[in-house]
A and B are shown apart, each in its own frame.
Chain A
Amino acid sequence: MTDAQPASVYDLAHADQPESRATFAVLVDNEPGVLHRVVGLFAARGYNIDSLTVAETDEKAHTSRITIVTRGTPQVLAQIEAQLQKMVSTRHVQDVTRDPNGIERELALVKVRGSGAERVEALRVSDIFRAKVIDTTHESFVFELTGASSKIDKFVDLMRPLGLVEVSRTGVLSLQRGVEVF
């Protein structure tokens, strides 16, 4: 009749259920300490943060948009959403991953060092990924790449044997397709 519950009272992760990745977009009142509230909530309850981006997005309404990528079982993800919603500073929470209209994008800066054939190959791959070269020396490139996180992962993988030395990523940003707004 009901799902089996975990054996231990502390085993709230429902270990028998598979974990999945989820992206939450959280619209919060932009006030001092609001990021600490969100991060503190994750830390105190033992949730993971894979990436987090935050910036003020509406100066007039004093709202910031926080995009958090996390992992967990369906039960944990539901709990994360409920806990985020519960914060007084929260205006809106959206599970972007489960929303068919959710768009997720990430920006990465990738430094590749090399010469000769490897250098040519790196440039060729960057072209396929529509990455921009934003800096170059005789032995290096810095590429700028945007896209889904999986695309950036793939690009980084391909660059690794071609002299990848440094990666900087923004973390995921999200928005909904269509005319609807938060």
Chain B
Amino acid sequence: MLVRTDRSLVPGPPRAFFIALNLVLQPTFQAQARPMTAHQTIEAETTTISGAEMVVRALIDQGVEVLFGYPGGAVLPIYDALFSEPRLQHVLVRHEQGATHAAEGYARSTGKPGVVLVTSGPGATNAVTGIVDALMDSIPMIVITGQVATHLIGTDAFQECDTIGITRPCTKHNYLVKDIADLPRILHEAFHIATSGRPGPVVIDIPKDVQFAKGAYQGPTEVKHAHNYAPRTKGDPGKIAEAVALIAKARKPILYTGGGVINAGPRAAELLREFAELTGAPVTSTLMGLGAFPASDSKWLGMLGMHGSFEANNAMHDCDVMVAIGARFDDRVTGRLDAFAPTSRKIHIDVDPSSIGKNVRADIGIVGDAGQVLEDMIAAWKQRNLSVDAAALKAWWTQIDAWRARNSFAYRPDTKLIKPQYAIERLYELTKDHDTYITTEVGQHQMWAAQFYKFEKPNRWMTSGGLGTMGYGLPAAVGVQMAHPDALVIDIGGDASVQMTMQEISTAVQYDLPIKIFILNNEWMGMVRQWQQLLHGERYSHSYSSSLPDFVKLAEAYGGVGFRAEHPDELDDKIREMISVKKPVIFDCRVTKEENCFPMIPSGKAHNEMIMAEEARDLGSIIDDAGKRLV
């Protein structure tokens, strides 16, 4: 290995720092069985820096300000390097899963990558859930894991696990750094891979001896990437021309948008609005895409899919041209595939070529970044002076308005008990004028939040869509609040989900993060209970939340503030009080216990076979055996 020793080429901390670091590291080096190589000895006397120091330097060079982590034996050198580093704020979580979800919340609400630092073994395995979550929802994330020293790998050493083997199928890419010479390149390459193309998590596993080893640091522009990874972001002009011509001829168009529009940045959301304006097409979105199109716009149909709106799903079913933008035809969206939008031509825009044609055949597949392709489509539309079939579009909107009139999210109000839908409606009304960010857990409350909370802007909605991770929302709120200290950050949770990562309220207290944990408490795993009621003959097997804690006292025990609302009349005042408190809050909102989430496309059914609230008695007789086998 060639070591650059020229001080001018390798900017580094002042020399005194190295002397101090060497003193600290010396005993540990002696403790290691592996002798130092010649170059390591030489480097110790030059301007080269340790692997741990490189990690810190690379994070700063990559513009990282906040990282979420938990120390342990195999990452102590990195924690040591962080000790007196004012440019990086480390947030100590209470469990590594919390660090990953916090990083996701941070990433989703800022558009920047989330960074996680955990130790080897259990540190890495605890992070796996959040890593998979980030992969499924295309969240840019860098996870740095400590590893036992290279000579101990494979010996079943204390806190050793095959992190690379475990995370290989659940990362966009992962690295085991065995040589200090590779570390700067890998660190910068990881950021490039995590944030470009279809974003995703990248794991960097760094053995402890590599953290101690010394080498020459290189900055982001100095390193030469080893892979010829270069995702395509610019759409094919020929296909774009074909696509706009098809849209102009459409009589019943629809724009079906997803998380890809959010990932493409705020500009993509603006372009989406412009494109909808040009084409006059209705817009629906997946769970992950909420906020990319303003809910107050008259062309907004609401979310589509299993618990989407009647108008969105029927418009999807009946459309003649579907434009999928940054959405991946998930089974929760399509329902029964052989009856999915049967009369439509489909244009699929996605930055990931493997998403196109995976579940549904696209007539025109355009590989590219949602924002760039939208920009090119708008330009192509204007350049060709295309116009829509106004008469056909008018008839299409008349039909859509008729579907809208069904008011599919309607629920029976109650004057004595708080309906969960009512709670979200009130929460929305009382928080909409604030600078609000919403995270959720997973289940009924998540669907009600998606149905009743109206988003005007992207990056305001953080939820676990693909993996459906209960326990996502609370730590995600921690991450969001770190990025937006003055914003109102609310985790809409359920009594079951929220207990999966409840310990992270302690993190919120430690860092003065006034997150609001708004629990729709029905004492059930509501969505499980709903399926058991409708599909399993009302046999409620292990879905009742027995022995719930007193959430108000729990909040107080952690050093936060607790509220409880049991009656509709007190809800508004309590929510207002919650907003005014500048501390972490647990809001125990006692809601009706057996409310079901409707409308619903039963498993194995088509978009136009939605079950409305008033029709739902015994879904068991509606869903056939094949449908019951689906999740």
Q: Which residues of A contact B (CB under 8 A)?
A: 1-12, 29, 31-33, 36-37, 40-41, 44, 62, 75, 78-79, 82-83, 85-86, 88-89, 91
Complex-state Cα separation, A6 to B626, whole angstroms: 13
Smallest beta-carbon distance A65→chain B, Å = 15
- For window 300-348 of B, CB contacts with A under 8 Å fall at 331, 334-338, 340, 342-346
Q: Which residues of chain A are near B360, meaning CB under 8 Å? A: 5
Q: Which residues of B contact A (CB under 8 A)?
A: 164-165, 168-169, 172-173, 176, 193, 226-229, 331, 334-338, 340, 342-346, 352-354, 356-361, 363, 604, 626, 630
Q: Known contacts being A7-B626, A33-B168, A44-B169, is A2 close to B227, with CB within 8 Å? A: no
CB atoms of A2 and B331 under 8 A apart: no
Q: Known contacts being A37-B168, A78-B357, A85-B353, is A8 close to B173, with CB within 8 Å? A: no
Q: Known contacts being A7-B337, A7-B626, A8-B604, is A75 close to B354, with CB within 8 Å? A: no
With A9-B359, A31-B226 given, can you name 12 additional A-B contacts, CB distance below 8 Å? A2-B345, A3-B361, A5-B361, A6-B338, A11-B337, A29-B226, A41-B169, A79-B357, A85-B353, A86-B352, A88-B172, A89-B227
Q: Which of A5, A29, A31, A40 has the most CB of B within 10 A?
A: A5
Complex-state Cα separation, A12 to B331, whole angstroms: 11
CB atoms of B169 and A91 under 8 A apart: no
B176, B336, B353: the one within 8 Å of A86 (CB): B353
Task: Jot down 12 A-B pairs with beta carbons below 8 A, ordered by A.
Answer: A4-B338, A5-B337, A6-B337, A8-B337, A29-B226, A32-B176, A36-B165, A79-B358, A82-B354, A85-B354, A86-B353, A88-B229
Q: Which residues of chain A are near B356, meaning CB under 8 Å? A: 82
CB atoms of B172 and A36 under 8 A apart: no
CB atoms of A79 and B227 under 8 A apart: no
Among residues of A, the one whose C-beta sits closest to the C-beta of B171 is A88
Q: Which residues of chain B are near A2, meaning CB under 8 Å? A: 342, 344-346, 361, 363
Complex-state Cα separation, A91 to B342, whole angstroms: 38
Q: Known contacts being A79-B354, A82-B354, is A8 close to B630, with CB within 8 Å? A: yes
Q: Which residues of chain A are near B358, meaning CB under 8 Å? A: 12, 79, 82
Smallest beta-carbon distance B621→chain A, Å = 19
Among residues of B, the one whose C-beta sits closest to the C-beta of A8 is B626
Among residues of B, the one whose C-beta sits closest to the C-beta of A4 is B338
Q: Known contacts being A2-B345, A79-B354, is A91 close to B164, with CB within 8 Å? A: no
Smallest beta-carbon distance B339→chain A, Å = 8
Among residues of B, the one whose C-beta sits closest to the C-beta of A80 is B354
Smallest beta-carbon distance B349→chain A, Å = 15
CB atoms of A9 and B337 under 8 A apart: yes
**Shortest 8 CB-CB contacts between residues of A and residues of B:** A82-B354, A5-B337, A9-B331, A88-B173, A5-B338, A88-B229, A7-B338, A82-B353
Complex-state Cα separation, A61 to B229, whole angstroms: 15
Q: Which of A8, A10, A12 has the most CB of B within 10 A?
A: A8
Q: Known contacts being A1-B345, A86-B352, is A9 close to B228, with CB within 8 Å? A: no
Q: Which residues of chain A are near B340, meaning CB under 8 Å? A: 5
Q: Which residues of chain A are near B359, meaning CB under 8 Å? A: 9, 12
Among residues of B, the one whose C-beta sits closest to the C-beta of A83 is B354
Smallest beta-carbon distance B200→chain A, Å = 10
Complex-state Cα separation, A44 to B171, whole angstroms: 13
Smallest beta-carbon distance A45→chain B, Å = 10
Q: Which residues of chain A are near B604, meaning CB under 8 Å? A: 7-9
Q: Which residues of chain B are near A8, meaning CB under 8 Å? A: 337, 604, 626, 630
Complex-state Cα separation, A11 to B354, whole angstroms: 17
Q: Which residues of chain B are near A37, meaning CB under 8 Å? A: 168
Q: Which of A2, A78, A83 has the most CB of B within 10 A?
A: A2
Complex-state Cα separation, A62 to B451, whole angstroms: 52
Complex-state Cα separation, A9 to B330, whole angstroms: 9
Q: Which of A1, A32, A40 has the most CB of B within 10 A?
A: A1
Q: Which residues of chain A are near B354, meaning CB under 8 Å? A: 79, 82-83, 85-86
CB atoms of A29 and B346 under 8 A apart: no
CB atoms of A91 and B228 under 8 A apart: yes
Among residues of A, the one whose C-beta sits closest to the C-beta of B363 is A2
Complex-state Cα separation, A62 to B226, whole angstroms: 10
Q: Which residues of chain B are near A1, meaning CB under 8 Å? A: 343-345, 363
Among residues of B, the one whose C-beta sits closest to the C-beta of A16 is B338
Q: Which residues of chain B are near A82, meaning CB under 8 Å? A: 353-354, 356-358
A9, A12, A78: the one within 8 Å of B336 (CB): A9
Complex-state Cα separation, A182 to B219, whole angstroms: 32
Among residues of A, the one whose C-beta sits closest to the C-beta of B604 is A8
Among residues of A, the one whose C-beta sits closest to the C-beta of B330 is A9
Among residues of A, the one whose C-beta sits closest to the C-beta of B359 is A12
Q: Which of B229, B337, B359 has the most CB of A within 10 A?
A: B337
Among residues of B, the one whose C-beta sits closest to the C-beta of A84 is B354
CB atoms of B227 and A29 under 8 A apart: yes
Complex-state Cα separation, A83 to B353, whole angstroms: 8
Q: Which residues of chain A are near B164, meaning CB under 8 Å? A: 33
Complex-state Cα separation, A29 to B337, whole angstroms: 37
Complex-state Cα separation, A2 to B337, whole angstroms: 12
Complex-state Cα separation, A125 to B545, whole angstroms: 74
B193, B336, B344: the one within 8 Å of A7 (CB): B336
CB atoms of B193 and A88 under 8 A apart: yes
Smallest beta-carbon distance B203→chain A, Å = 12
Smallest beta-carbon distance A49→chain B, Å = 16
Complex-state Cα separation, A11 to B345, whole angstroms: 22
CB atoms of B173 and A10 under 8 A apart: no
Complex-state Cα separation, A4 to B361, whole angstroms: 9
Among residues of A, the one whose C-beta sits closest to the C-beta of B174 is A33
Q: Which of B172, B335, B352, B361 has the most CB of A within 10 A?
A: B361
CB atoms of A9 and B361 under 8 A apart: no
Q: Which residues of chain B are near A85, meaning CB under 8 Å? A: 353-354
Complex-state Cα separation, A31 to B179, whole angstroms: 13
Q: Which residues of chain A are near B169, meaning CB under 8 Å? A: 40-41, 44
Among residues of B, the one whose C-beta sits closest to the C-beta of A40 is B169
Complex-state Cα separation, A1 to B345, whole angstroms: 7
